[in-house]
Amino acid sequence: MQNMQHEKGSFLVVIDPGHGGWDNGASWEGRLEKDDNLHLGLLVREALEDLGISNIMTRDTDVYIMLSERAEIANEAGADLFISLHRNSYPEQLPTAMGVENYIYLTAPEEPTGRAAQLVLDSVVDVGVQADRGVSRGDYYVLRRTKMPAMLLEMGFINNDIDNQLFDEHLAEYAQAIARAVKEYQSTLEDSGNATPCECPICPNATVMHAQLLLNSYFGLNIPPTGVLDATSVHGAIMALQMALNHDLGADLSVDGILGERTLAAFNGIFPESRGYIVLAVQLALMLNGYDIGVPDGVFGRDTQHAAQKFARDNNLKYETFATPQMLSLLFK
């Protein structure tokens, strides 16, 4: 991993060559995705430096870096843009399995994240590709866990011979195209006087929006995915908790979205490695409050426990486990 001190106020890009080490990624006839990603990443670094743009690589050798560490590198550096480089693949060689595409997170805002992703994709397409597959949305870990505009760029299908030929012939040009797009993105931010994403309280929050979408999906609710914690979201989260208590414990509660005495009494706590819909409801409530619980999987694992501990500290509560009605009342406030 490359080390670089980020000068406060400067524009910083994190280049993330996907996979590495024992994780080969996709492969085709001896060709490994991890190698293509690293070759492109190193050239992107050179192209960015030629344009005077500060950058950090999550890896610059053939080593394995956990997904959580990749996101942490970017977050701790206070990066302004995150670009994860990959090669696509499909089990079958379908005629449509070709071309380049770019992904942003499910709830990422079109401005600035969508615009940054489109600039990079358009610049790559201008060099020459089989097909422009567009900017799409996906639930990729590094997109979900990074706190700045982030994209996952799929540079053609590794099991498509023409995509591979184009990748090899235009590798340096692709790197320069990505760097030019980053420079254009940086320039537009400076022109608008908004070099960093807005963090004001009324702006949509990706974690909150993700929780709203998951509450709708798992519990059949209809919460507007605004990315802002409001009364409608809290009401829905309480309904989800009541449904979970009924499902997991047979509590026979009215699903009214009111955190009354019966609902509080039915909750008997969740403990390390507890599983079920009650845990999922609590995870989504923590997310609504802006806490990062890792994967909302209905398991009270390490990441969720850390989030619960932080929630307790932030509310001046003693934390032993998530078992008190007081903590529940504050979470669904």
- On whether residue 256 sits in a domain, the answer given is yes
pLDDT of residue 198: 45
E-assigned strands of the chain? 12-17, 27-28, 31-32, 54-57, 81-88, 100-105, 132-138, 150-157
d(CA 25, CA 23): 6
Q: For residues 181 and 244, state if they share a domain.
A: no
Contact status, residue 138 vs residue 152, Cβ threshold 8 Å: yes
Other C-beta atoms closer than 10 Å to the C-beta of 222 total 8
Q: What pLDDT shows up at residue 193? A: 55
Of the candidates 69, 72, 76, 154, the residue annotated as catalytic is 154
Q: Which DSSP letter does residue 12 get?
A: E
Residue 154 annotated in active site: yes
Pick from 34, 104, 103, 90: nearest CA to 62: 34
Residue 34 to residue 203: CA distance in whole angstroms: 37
Six-digit token string for 305: 């426990």
111 in a structural domain:
yes
Question: Which of 148, 163, 192 is the C-terminal boundary of a domain?
Answer: 192
Query: Furthest-apart CA pair in the chain: how many Å?
Result: 68
Is the CB of residue 244 less than 8 Å from the CB of residue 218?
A: no
CB 126 within 8 A of CB 163: no
Are 241 and 171 contained in the same domain? no
Structure tokens at 259: 């955190």
Which residue, 164, 192, 220, sits at the end of a domain?
192
Dist. CA 291–CA 305, nearest whole Å: 11
CA nearest neighbour of 151 among 124, 127, 115, 187: 115
In DSSP notation, 41-110 reads HHHHHHHHHHTT-EEEES-SSS----HHHHHHHHHHHT-SEEEEEEEE--SS--TT--SEEEEEETT--I
Same domain as 212, residue 188: no
- The range of the structural domain enclosing residue 45 comes to 12-192
**Whether residue 40 is found in the same domain as residue 169:** yes
Rounded to whole angstroms, the Cα distance separating 150 from 158 reads 23
Tell me, yes or no, whether 83 and 185 share the same domain: yes
Q: Are 217 and 209 in contact (CB under 8 A)?
A: no
The CATH number assigned to the domain holding 60 equals 3.40.630.40
- Looking at the fold, whether 133 and 233 belong to one and the same domain comes out as no
Pick the last residue of a domain from 192, 222, 238.
192
pLDDT in tens, the chain (333 residues): 554 444 555 899 999 999 999 999 999 999 999 999 999 999 999 999 999 999 999 999 999 999 989 999 999 999 999 999 999 998 766 778 899 999 998 778 888 999 999 999 999 999 999 999 999 988 788 998 899 999 999 999 999 999 999 999 999 999 999 999 999 999 988 766 554 444 444 456 778 888 999 999 999 999 998 888 889 999 999 999 999 999 999 999 999 999 999 999 999 888 888 899 999 999 999 999 888 888 899 999 989 998 888 888 887 777 777 767 788 888 888
